[in-house]
Amino acid sequence: MAKYRRGRINEEMQKELTVILRRVKDPRVSDAFISITAADCTADLKYAKIYYSAMGGDKKEIAKGLKAASGFIRRELASSLNLRMTPELTFVPDDSVAYGAHIAKILNGLEISPEEDEEETDGEDA
């Protein structure tokens, strides 16, 4: 299978999963603000890793809730996507959003004096 097709399937799965998660009635999932950051299918489309980030709530409870609701989510995904075989879903927490916010906080906290800034630009001209 062409790699670009798998990329399109991953993108479509990500979009559909975002909509489907709003319909999950498990309080561990519905109470937390969960965002799907990426979806990665295997080449044979039998398995898919779903990367998510969650704001609020206990991370362990959210993971348990997603695992418990994976059957419902897979069924809804099968009805919305026209694939011969719907992949088995594995949910993986993605901490890149929190990590990016942490790095941005550190960078915003740096103080550069105007003297240091001028020295750097003078050194590049020479």
Reported as a single tens digit per residue, the pLDDT across 94-125 is 888 778 888 998 999 888 777 765 666 665 55
Q: Please determine, for residue 16, whether its predicted confidence score (pLDDT) is greater than 90.
A: yes
Locate all alpha helices (DSSP H) within the chain, ordered by sequence.
Answer: 3-21, 27-30, 59-68, 70-80, 96-109, 114-125
Q: Is residue 38 part of a domain?
A: yes
Structural domain range at position 56: 3-95
CATH of the domain at 82: 3.30.300.20
Q: Is residue 55 part of a domain?
A: yes
Contact 62, 32 (CB under 8 A): yes
Reported as a single tens digit per residue, the pLDDT across 24-54 is 998 888 888 899 999 999 989 899 999 999 8
Q: Is residue 35 part of a domain?
A: yes
pLDDT class of 5 with cuts at 50, 70, 90: confident
Q: Is residue 76 part of a domain?
A: yes
Q: Is residue 79 part of a domain?
A: yes
Q: Is residue 108 part of a domain?
A: no
pLDDT, residue 55, reads 81
Into how many domains does the chain fold? 1
Q: How far apart are CA 107 and CA 37, in angstroms?
A: 23
Q: How far apart are CA 51 and CA 36, in angstroms?
A: 6
